[in-house]
A and B are shown apart, each in its own frame.
Chain A
């Protein structure tokens, strides 16, 4: 009886998950000014957006009313988001500018992702198992990247970047750039990369055996706070930068 009750509770909680689906398995997904996002790569053919936790926290006094957006956005998803589509590009925007909902967005392998957030409300962006290109342009978000297998172009002004690789993609470049906080990268000991490390005011730490190519025949060491080194004979161009804080590059 107890196990049956648990099953019913699980069933009920599953059915309560607010969800919106975009039929798209290629092209680009732009996520603009959505404060709290978890991106998950998946093998399906749709972009699936879920709200983490319980249903939307609409104030009691606002029940039955429509949220007005100065930007002219309209909640056409039922979960506080505006979704528009232009050709092969879908754009997701948050209607409320002070929402604390966390959206879990499951993205098919063939869809490139662009995330942009400039407000103080920007919380940690989590990206897990993303196989396509991921570009991030953030002001206040921390960025946590777990097992990316696609190319990356990540920048954040006030947040940190932490990335843990199971494999290092060799197709296109990887660049991780923070201004005021640290960048911490873990790669497998077998990864092949040309690491470009730079910091203006911080320090650089690593336990990788990097080849800095002192003969300058192939790679250049640019200055004392910018270093270029091959790992395992070199491979994809992998740039790690923090203007004001430290860089950590470690192996598993």
Chain B
């Protein structure tokens, strides 16, 4: 039997059968990758449990949920809400909620913010700010001190969907400061597949080559063969292939 994320969540919530229980316990002792995944889920679950009931607020949770485009139903209770976050297969998003709730608590507790505009970037507001430079400022602040996996999900979301080249560019730069994970590698490759602006395409190629990501080779070859791609991007892709 395959132990996937759903099975791990069931195990975490105590919903597995005795036989499943024994099997997963054995596998967790042997499989370090599975063990790591379980530990991350357990950590997020524990942090969700430890959140005060009023934080994050319904409004904030709803807004973030909407932003992540992942849910359509309003959770019936705190417990079910937490389970939904895990069950939705978007546990990293749940981690983001935990982190942002932390930011929110921190923000609320600060009595004298440096400046009004700076205070807004410590909460969730910066993600959906109409101001490009405020979103960029938010990325700088979110990535300056913490290497949190939840921030990676936010950066990947911005990289996929933000309308500003300059924000996507900053997201690429920021992602390179995190320890390399499969999420980041896959996110950068997928972004390169979709990206149309040369300035961001070049930044993505540079990032993937800098990370020595050999999985990016097919995408670089596709760019070189694509008639719609600008020559400067093809040159960068060619150079990248040589370096890889």
Q: Which residues of A contact B (CB under 8 A)?
A: 112, 114, 133, 135, 137, 139, 151-158, 170-175, 177, 179-180, 196, 198, 200, 218-220, 222, 237, 239, 241, 243
Select one of A155, A173, A220 contacting B137, CB under 8 A: A173
CB neighbours of B199 from chain A (8 A): 137, 139, 155-157, 177, 179
The 26 listed contacts between A and B (C-beta, < 8 Å) are A112-B131, A114-B132, A133-B131, A135-B132, A137-B164, A137-B199, A139-B198, A139-B230, A151-B133, A155-B166, A157-B198, A170-B115, A171-B117, A172-B117, A172-B133, A173-B133, A173-B140, A175-B136, A177-B166, A177-B199, A196-B140, A219-B144, A222-B176, A222-B177, A237-B141, A241-B173
CB neighbours of A173 from chain B (8 A): 133-134, 136-137, 140
B163 smallest CB distance to A (angstroms): 10
B232 touches A158 (CB 8 A): yes
Residues 181 to 221 of chain B near chain A (Cβ within 8 Å): 197-199, 202-203, 206, 210
What 9 A-B pairs come out closest when comparing CB atoms?
A151-B133, A153-B166, A172-B133, A173-B137, A237-B140, A137-B165, A173-B136, A171-B117, A135-B132
CB neighbours of A151 from chain B (8 A): 131, 133-134, 137
B241 at interface, CB cutoff 8 A: no
B170 at interface, CB cutoff 8 A: yes
B136 touches A171 (CB 8 A): no
With A133-B132, A153-B133, A154-B166: A179-B202 Cβ-Cβ less than 8 Å: yes
Binary flags per residue of B112-130, CB closer than 8 Å to A gives 1, else 0: 0001011000000000000
CB neighbours of A135 from chain B (8 A): 132-133, 164, 166
Size band of the B side of the interface? Answer: 20 to 34
CB neighbours of B118 from chain A (8 A): 171
A120 smallest CB distance to B (angstroms): 11
Residue of A nearest to B114 (CB): A170
Question: In whole angstroms, how far apart are the Cα atoms of A174 and B134 in the complex?
Answer: 10
CB neighbours of A219 from chain B (8 A): 144
Residue of A nearest to B136 (CB): A173
